[in-house]
Amino acid sequence: MVETIMGEDPLTGEEIEIPANVEVGEIVDSPATGAELEIVATDPLTLEEAPELEEDWGE
């Protein structure tokens, strides 16, 4: 069984379960909305909506 920690979905305010072994900067999918969320802190667990990826065109 995978250990989980609870966090708040920043889009809905709903409590969601995230695998306990996540690291800062990791992107996870919200089980509540399906949106991509970024882990910005692990103690306490803090989530933000992941930024949209942009083309860098080799710059």
DSSP state letters, 1-59: ---EEEEE-TTT--EEEEETT--TT-EEE-TTT--EEEEEEETTEEEEEPPPP---TT-
pLDDT in 10s for each residue of the chain, 59 residues: 779 999 999 999 999 999 999 999 999 999 888 999 999 998 889 999 998 776 666 65
Query: Comparing C-alpha atoms, which of 57, 54, 51 is closest to residue 25?
Result: 51
Model-level pTM greater than 0.75?
Answer: yes
As its CATH architecture, domain 4-49 has Single Sheet (2.20)
Contact 28, 39 (CB under 8 A): yes
> Could you tell me the residue ranges of all domains in the chain?
4-49
